[in-house]
Amino acid sequence: MPARKKPAEEPRIDPDFDRRMMAAALRLGRRNLGWTGKNPAVGCIIVRTDGDTPVVVGRGWTAPGGRPHAEREALDMAGEAAKGATAYVTLEPCAHRQKGGSCSAALVEAGVARVVGAMADPDPRTAGKGYAALEKAGIAVTDGVLAAEAALAHSGHIARITKGRPHVTLKLAISADGMIGKREGERMMITGKQTFDAVQRMRTEFDTIMVGIGTVLVDDPRLTVRLPGLEGRSPARVILDANARLPLTSKLIAEVGVAPLLVFVTPAADPDKVVALAESGAKVFEVPPGPGGLDLGEVLAVLAEEGYQRVFAEGGAEVASSLMQGGLLDEVYLFRAPVVVGPDGVRALGGMALSAIARSPRFRLIESAAVGEDMMRRYVRAA
Ligand SMILES: NC(=O)c1ccc[n+]([C@@H]2O[C@H](COP(=O)([O-])OP(=O)(O)OC[C@H]3O[C@@H](n4cnc5c(N)ncnc54)[C@H](OP(=O)(O)O)[C@@H]3O)[C@@H](O)[C@H]2O)c1
């Protein structure tokens, strides 16, 4: 067994400083969350301490499409200054060969003295091997810094690798009387302008938005990002439409070129309608039927195979209910608004009390904030 190289100089360890740097690396990684294809959205910061003052010499985050990786970007920025420095990485550096070599090999080659990671990569091509390669080369490794925050940031990557499906986040806006919209007629805005903008920004961090055909038929939504400067960040639109009822006159079809449109149907759907949807530019997938319409486990498996990691489920009530009952919800954003819809409304979660989420031991409240006149609460599935 080859002898381990000794680190050039023993790096000083300050756990509080490590946490601050990892928090900054997590913020960098978030820049391309939802846009890194099959790769995780990682952040990396390289810090040198010559004398008493630490200096950031390299910063990187996974590029759109997944390459270059964050470490490569940060090392390129640091150049020679990486020698003897500490690299903060939000996920274990990859160990598998790729174009230009693995990130663990690049960190060794650059001569960093220490690597601080937030969590091991569950991808079997790396899992533990990235850290092992660093240690073998004499680099000091600290793992587990802000691990819970990193697990949330990489939830899409983790779900895809460990469950064979994307991470699923449900967003619902609920009126004061527990409704999410009107059953028929005009589309009804439940929440205010600030929540609308917040949801538009949230969309940019997902690679898919998913809704049921019921929502499409009532709201005729566009499901795109229209915030100035972010128009190019619209996720793929996923429509659950067992019977291929999506109207060819819908805005989704009219704007099929803006972002991919994926329509899921069952084999029982009218073949003429399926052909018409495909000819209009939609990508149509056949999956078996399941409770409520389609087998949602199959839908999510297909999305994972297509390389999607993060689903933003925007309703409606039936879809929310199916996801909840199928145990497929990982995260929930509830926006409670002061408006009253009245008796002709659609009850949230198909009659299932939303407070069930708040009471459920399966979910943990991790954030709450006022958004204009609305109140946002964010829940994540307890491990
Ligand atoms: N406040 C909010 O946040 C919010 C968000 C979205 C929508 N909305 C409102 O919600 C209302 C529409 O909600 P909705 O409950 O009637 O419809 P929905 O949940 O949007 O769509 C339900 C339909 O989706 C199809 N589907 C396919 N597979 C399914 C599955 N496994 N589980 C459930 N549905 C599946 C079914 O039709 P097929 O069998 O034909 O496929 C089903 O009837 C509208 O009023 C809309 O404005 C509110």
Determine how β-strand 261-265 pairs with β-strand 289-290.
unpaired
Helices in 60-188 by DSSP H: which ranges?
Answer: 70-78, 103-110, 129-136, 147-153, 155-163
The pLDDT, as a whole number, for residue 267 is 98
The pLDDT, as a whole number, for residue 74 is 98
pLDDT tens-digit map of 82-101: 999 999 999 999 998 766 68
Q: Is the CB of residue 314 below 6 angstroms from any atom belonging to ligand 1? A: yes
Distance, CA 85 to ligand 1 centroid (Å)? 53
What atom of ligand 1 comes closest to residue 345's alpha carbon? Answer: 45
The pLDDT, as a whole number, for residue 13 is 82
**By the 8 A CB rule, do 44 and 25 touch?**
yes
**By the 8 A CB rule, do 350 and 321 touch?**
yes
The pLDDT, as a whole number, for residue 180 is 86
Nearest CA to ligand 1 atom 26: 293
The pLDDT, as a whole number, for residue 3 is 46
Distance, CA 238 to ligand 1 centroid (Å)? 12
User: How far apart are alpha carbons 216 and 160 in whole angstroms?
Assistant: 27
Where does residue 344 rank: exposed (0-12), middle (13-18), buried (19+ CB within 10 A)? Answer: exposed
The pLDDT, as a whole number, for residue 315 is 84
Nearest CA to ligand 1 atom 13: 316
The pLDDT, as a whole number, for residue 350 is 56
User: How far apart are alpha carbons 261 and 312 in whole angstroms?
Assistant: 14
The pLDDT, as a whole number, for residue 362 is 84
The pLDDT, as a whole number, for residue 11 is 61
Is the bond into 68 cis (omega within 30 degrees of 0)? yes
Catalytic residue flag (residue 135)? no
Low-confidence ranges of the chain (pLDDT < 70): 1-11, 98-100, 185-186, 349-355
State the helix-helix crossing angle for 70-78 and 103-110, rounded to 10 degrees: 20
* Cα distances (Å, whole numbers) of residue 54 to 44, 133, 144, 148, 308: 16, 26, 21, 26, 38
The pLDDT, as a whole number, for residue 343 is 84
What atom of ligand 1 comes closest to residue 179's alpha carbon? Answer: 1
Name the active-site residue from 10, 71, 184, 231: 71
